[in-house]
Amino acid sequence: MSKGDLTYWRETSFYVNPTSRCMNDCLFCVRNYGDGVFGFNLLLDGDPSPEELVTAIEETWNPKFDDVAIVGFGEPLLNIDAVLAGIRRIKELSDVKVRMNTNGQGLLIHPTRDVPQELSDSGLDRVQISLNAPDAETYFQLCKPKMGRGTFESILDFTERCKPLMKVELSAVNIPGVDIDACRGLAERLGVGFRVRVFKGPEGAIEGILRTLSPS
């Protein structure tokens, strides 16, 4: 069994943590400043199997939960089979809508699979995709994707492919140096929702991010 918490919660919100691995090294990521949230340890020593994740969900589920999200310390789609199994089990336990937070790189991670369709078939109701930048160059500087400079365009493609299947929302962290209005405009052109996220790192970290985004 993976060490670390595979599920966590706060009040009536229930969260699933399928992995702590990620393909990005975002300058603003909460992982830069701690090992978890709400008093839970979300740093895993390995990805759980589908069976392990389902067991963790069954052991910690409470009927009081009215908000469910697949959002942990890493990119959920790196452990897609466990994610799909987890969504299906939650749908068996409850009629609460399930959302997932992702960096939107599913087409790059699994090039031979129809990831949006698989997510829809499992019962996922809504996906929030971390856009975080209005253009490819800013995204590359801010998020440092291991998949390379083509990552941004793939995220937009993933967004388009999810649109007919579920509710889609792009998001961006509100930090100096990121044009939030331009991000919102991109979401509007794609015909999806948009959400501004709050930066959760220490105040001093903003200076380093600004230096990275400023022209040399």
Give the mean model confidence (pLDDT) for residues 65-78: 96
pLDDT of 210: 53
Q: Which CATH number fits domain 7-213: 3.20.20.70, 3.40.50.150, 3.40.640.10, 3.40.30.10?
A: 3.20.20.70
Could you give the count of Cα atoms lying within 13 Å of 4 in the half-sphere of its Cβ? 23
Domain boundaries, the chain: 7-213
Task: Give yes or no for a contact between 79 and 22, defined as CB atoms under 8 angstroms apart.
Answer: no
Q: CA separation (Å) from 200 to 70, 83, 131, 203, 206?
A: 19, 25, 17, 9, 10
- The C-alpha atoms of residue 212 and residue 129 are separated, in whole angstroms, by 23
pLDDT tens per residue, range 147-181: 999 999 999 999 999 999 999 999 999 988 889 99
pLDDT tens per residue, range 3-61: 899 999 999 999 999 999 999 998 888 777 677 888 899 999 999 999 999 999 999 99
pLDDT tens per residue, range 106-146: 999 999 999 999 999 999 999 999 999 999 999 999 999 99
Using the Cα atoms of residue 78, residue 79, residue 81 and residue 84 in order, give the sign of their dihedral: negative
Read off the pTM. 0.89
